[in-house]
Amino acid sequence: MNRNLIKSLLAIAITAAFASTASAAVMEYTNETDFLNALGGSFYRNDFDDITAPLASSETFSGNGIEYSISANSSNLWLLDNKGIDGSHAITITNPNDSITISIEGGVYAIGGYFWSIDGNDNFASSSVTINLSTGDSYTFTPSTLQESFYGFISDDGMISSLSLSGYSGRAPTLDNVTVSLSVPEPSTWALVSLSLVGGLFFVARKPPRGRAITSVCKS
């Protein structure tokens, strides 16, 4: 193999290995299908269609080995009948200036859902909402339609233990189809793959070239 090519591949592999171990990031998804595909099929998704009103200030949900609570910080939760995604239920709050917090027992590597705000008639409002994660990451966005209000997060640096949702200008924050997962691979897996590639390329680069055949010529 050409030595210059080996050196180039080695440099790329080393960069990838250190990037895998050094970059702590939260990946964002704005498409639910892409988010679910990234989770590999192991997750707990709740459309809240099996709960009934009235709701308390905090409600607990569990499935697939994960337990979390949804709570209003200073008011009560409110169940929106048939106003969620695809006509399902959704959860909002009685005080539009309050915020909603999802607290996950033990934390998860991924969390996503449909997050939007509603007007005084409980209808979708194209208004900004802000999501704050326990990782310190904050996101503000303005969905133009209910179907475009999905936002998902996958952490490559430890667990997400909470998500806080707030609206603006008297628009109550609302959520539906919350999905959580524990099965996202840790970044160390990718780092090991990259380091293995580094080792292989280094071995090839250090391997001495084969000796040339020498023909002995005897002169008489």
Beta bridge partners of 176: 114
Neighbours of 91 (CB within 10 A): 24
Whole-number average pLDDT of the chain: 82
Question: What tokens does 130 get?
Answer: 């802000």
Digit-coded pLDDT (tens) for 181-207: 997 654 544 454 444 544 554 444 555
CB 57 within 8 A of CB 77: yes
Instruction: Please report the pLDDT score of residue 209 as a whole number.
Output: 52
Lowest mean pLDDT among 56-65, 107-116, 164-173, 179-188: 179-188
Residue 159 has pLDDT above 50, yes or no: yes
Residue 137 has pLDDT above 50, yes or no: yes
Residue at 91: amino acid letter? I
Domain ranges of the chain: 31-184
pLDDT tens digits for range 23-81: 458 999 999 999 999 998 789 999 999 999 999 999 999 999 999 999 999 999 999 99
Whether the pTM exceeds 0.85: the reply is: no
- Between strands 172-181 and 44-46, the pairing is antiparallel
Pick the CATH number of 31-184 from 3.90.1150, 1.25.40, 2.60.120, 2.60.40: 2.60.120
* Rounded mean pLDDT, 12-23: 46
- Among residues 43, 7, 48, the alpha carbon closest in space to that of 177 is found at 48
pLDDT at 183: 78
